[in-house]
Amino acid sequence: MKKRGLFITFEGIDGCGKTTQLSLLRDYLVNKGYDVIITREPGGNHQLGKDIRNILLYTKCELDDKAEMFLFLADRAQHINKFILPNLKEGKIVLCDRHTDSTLAYQGYGRGQNLEEIIYLNDIATNNIKPDLTFLYDIDVETSNLRVGNEKDRMENTGSIFLEKVRLGYLNIAQNNPESIKIINAVNPIEIVFKDTKKYVEDALKKI
Ligand code: TYD
């Protein structure tokens, strides 16, 4: 068993299939003998996160854009310090469904909040702990709408123009960070997407 942990995050617009890939990867790594933890933002593995997630996705109140941003950040601070970091210190592989790039893409590019401020606040929330590897599962907005269907939560109800901004934002973020963020064409069938995912993970495992 490896001594040092590995932190991998999964990003993309709604319906991109990242959760399916995360769970395929978990099974694959567990089969290889790794100690793997899966979690998500908002609301991963701590009660505060579950409470915040409820507000973010289901509040009937008209949430101010900055209040929304700080709720995602509050969830992240609690999550990284109380859950992710302790697990990494124990040498585990942590697979996290959404993380800092979601806030940049959704609140920054999508809602129009200041990008530099979000980068700064993300660093504060995470104590500068960065993922070793991030996957961006890229799909077009039409595919997203078809996959998500009609049962939408508050964030999913924001419409196609918003989602297009988020998608382009994500691509921008990834193009600016080619070393750490891998763009994967997630319109492809699940097996192909997983093959692409696995390749990068194998490379990352060689380095720990
Ligand atoms: P979730 O049900 O977890 O959606 P998904 O399965 O697509 O990940 O809902 C999370 C929603 O919150 C999703 O629409 C993206 C959004 N979000 C942000 O806007 N900013 C963030 O920082 C995070 C973590 C998520």
CA 106, CA 42: separation in Å to the nearest integer? 13
pLDDT < 70 positions in the chain: 1-3
Please tell me the pTM assigned to this model.
Answer: 0.95
Distance in Å, CA 72 to ligand 1 centroid:
9
How many distinct structural domains can be found in the chain?
1
Whether residue 176 lies inside any domain: the answer is: yes
Question: Ligand 1 within 6 A of 138 CB?
Answer: no
Residue 117 lies in a domain: yes
* Predicted local distance difference test score (pLDDT) of residue 199: 97
Give the CATH number, domain containing residue 45: 3.40.50.300
Going by C-alpha positions, the residue among 153, 124, 195, 189 that lies closest to residue 53 is: 153
Q: Which tokens in the block code for residue 208?
A: 């720990």
pLDDT at position 168 is 98
- Residue 201 CA to ligand 1 center (angstroms) comes to 23
DSSP letter string over 162-194? HHHHHHHHHHHHHHH-TTTEEEEETTS-HHHHH
User: How far, in Å, CA of 43 to CA of 49, rounded?
Assistant: 4
C-alpha 203/C-alpha 143 separation (Å) is: 30
Query: Residue 1: its pLDDT value, please?
Result: 37
Evaluate the omega torsion of the peptide bond into residue 42 and state whether it is cis, within 30 degrees of 0.
yes
Q: Pick the residue whose CA is nearest to atom 17 on ligand 1.
A: 102
196 CB near ligand 1 (under 6 Å): no
pLDDT tens string 88-124:
999 999 999 999 999 999 999 999 999 999 999 999 9
* 1 is a domain residue: no
Domain that holds residue 127: 6-205
CA of 77 to the centre of ligand 1 (A): 16
